[in-house]
Amino acid sequence: QKEVEQNSGPLSVPEGAIASLNCTYSDRGSQSFFWYRQYSGKSPELIMSIYSNGDKEDGRFTAQLNKASQYVSLLIRDSQPSDSATYLCAVLSGGSYIPTFGRGTSLIVHP
């Protein structure tokens, strides 16, 4: 069974700090990795996607992928209270188009 694990949190960081969100996955054949942000009462929306080992940066967000360690992370620099949300990690295995989602990590950025 394919599993995607995340610490449910909440992860609490002060405004301006770096928030680090982590995700591990069980299927070594996984090829596509996604971070979705979900505000309370809203639907998930894509923050970042990453397909190759290494870092991918987009504004204040950096996704990091290490396939050997089966680990993907999301760094949020200069965290803002508006970043407070649940962050869902999703993984696509090779040959599948149905992602497996983690349970999400709740992030709280306090002023």
Partner 1 sequence: DTAVSQTPKYLVTQMGNDKSIKCEQNLGHDTMYWYKQDSKKFLKIMFSYNNKELIINETVPNRFSPKSPDKAHLNLHINSLELGDSAVYFCASSHANIKNTDTQYFGPGTRLTVL
Which residues sit at the interface with partner 1, rule CB under 8 A?
A: 31-32, 34, 36, 38, 42-46, 49, 51, 86, 88, 90, 92, 97-101, 103-104
> What is the smallest separation between the CB atom of 16 and partner 1, expressed in angstroms?
27
User: How far apart are alpha carbons 87 and 103 in whole angstroms?
Assistant: 9
Tokens 């995607």: give the residue.
4
User: How far apart are alpha carbons 47 and 44 in whole angstroms?
Assistant: 9
| 18 DSSP assignment | P
- Cβ proximity to partner 1: between 79 and 99 the closer is 99
- Cβ proximity to partner 1: between 28 and 78 the closer is 28
